[in-house]
């Protein structure tokens, strides 16, 4: 078991009651003998000289645990920022849904203390997607996504058209509002709303889900996560590539998008009683009886 002594707290600044919860958590960590790092996005609201403040990149090499306070959106941005460093992440839920942030604020101090003092946690790995955009032979954009990479039509509202190949084998030409490439983690997000399947987080697959395709025969498919997907943009309409709904890049006609599994997984820590199917029942109301 790994000892956690240098711990970062990262939150979304405009979350309700965020400062109160960060203050409580920082005091708890100090009492446990940990050194606390507080991300500068929330540090302006606090004053406590016992903790270190600053941008995540300034001290990311020093920390051995990150605690994300907020909703799944906060966790997504934290995950992309630290995945290259092998730092595990714990999610405290201040959002409404919380598929990834599975520790309630009310249980925060108890659960975090148990993780640090007695190593009471379950660790799992989550896959990320990587995308590169080539304009001719020039790399013009690259980024990561923990939930999904989405190619979608732009503000004009016209359908986008592209060719798709998997491992250099032609799959199809599609005309649609776009397409979602979802990880198992992201299968309960936009992909699910668009009619995609729910994938268990440990599945070694991705889902490809068309968004309002022109042809009704276009349906979601599930593929192995060890493949390389290539998109060739045909249409000259405004087309946008989105990463987790938080970053975007405007594509040009004839751009090529290369999508594959990222080389490193994100490490998540959960309480000992964590159960993925319990999460699905709770978040998707599967426990409700149909009258």
The whole-angstrom distance between residue 274's C-alpha and the CA centroid of its chain comes to: 19
Catalytic residue among 61, 64, 72, 148: 72
For this structure, is 72 an active site residue?
yes
- The single residue listed with the structure tokens 């060719």 is 163
Separation CA 252–CA 19 (nearest Å): 43
Give phi and psi for 26, each to the nearest 5.
-65, -40
Q: Are 225 and 206 in contact (CB under 8 A)?
A: yes
Indicate the pairing of strand 160-166 with strand 228-233. antiparallel
* DSSP for residue 120: -
DSSP per-residue codes, 169-205: EEEEEEEESEEEEE-TGGGGTHHHHTTPPP--TT-SE
Q: Terminus-to-terminus CA distance in the chain, angstroms? A: 48
Q: Are 142 and 129 in contact (CB under 8 A)?
A: no
Six-digit token string for 193: 């709303």
List alpha helices for the chain, DSSP H: 18-31, 40-43, 56-59, 72-82, 108-118, 190-193, 276-283
Q: Are 44 and 74 in contact (CB under 8 A)?
A: no
DSSP per-residue codes, 264-276: SPEEEEE-TT--H
Six-digit token string for 24: 């409580």
Residues with a catalytic annotation lie at: 72
């Amino acid at each position: 078991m790994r000892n956690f002594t240098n711990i970062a707290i990262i939150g979304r600044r405009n979350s309700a009651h965020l400062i109160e919860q960060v203050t409580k958590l920082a005091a708890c960590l100090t009492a446990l003998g940990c050194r606390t790092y507080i991300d500068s996005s929330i540090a302006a609201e606090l004053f406590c000289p016992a903790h270190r403040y600053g941008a995540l990149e300034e001290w990311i090499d020093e920390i051995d645990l990150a605690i994300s306070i907020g909703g799944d959106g906060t966790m997504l941005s934290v995950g992309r920022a630290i995945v290259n460093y092998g730092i595990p992440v714990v999610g405290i839920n201040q959002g409404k849904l919380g598929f990834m942030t599975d520790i309630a604020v009310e249980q925060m101090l108890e659960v975090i203390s148990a993780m640090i003092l007695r190593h009471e946690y379950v660790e799992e790995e989550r896959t990320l997607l990587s995308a590169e955009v080539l304009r001719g032979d020039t790399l013009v954009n690259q980024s990561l996504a923990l939930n999904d990479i989405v190619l979608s039509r732009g503000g004009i509202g016209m359908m986008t058209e592209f060719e798709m190949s998997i491992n250099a084998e032609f799959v199809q030409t599609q005309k649609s509002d776009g397409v979602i490439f979802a990880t198992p983690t992201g299968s309960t997000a936009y992909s699910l709303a668009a009619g995609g399947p729910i994938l268990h987080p440990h599945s070694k697959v991705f889902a490809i889900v068309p968004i309002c395709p022109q042809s009704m025969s276009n349906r979601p498919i599930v593929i192995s996560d060890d493949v390389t997907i290539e998109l060739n943009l045909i249409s000259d309409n405004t087309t946008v590539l989105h990463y987790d709904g938080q970053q975007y890049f405007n594509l040009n006609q004839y751009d090529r998008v290369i999508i594959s599994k990222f080389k490193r997984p994100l490490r998540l820590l959960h309480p000992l009683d964590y159960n993925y199917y319990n999460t699905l029942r709770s978040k998707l109301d599967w426990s409700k009886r149909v009258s």
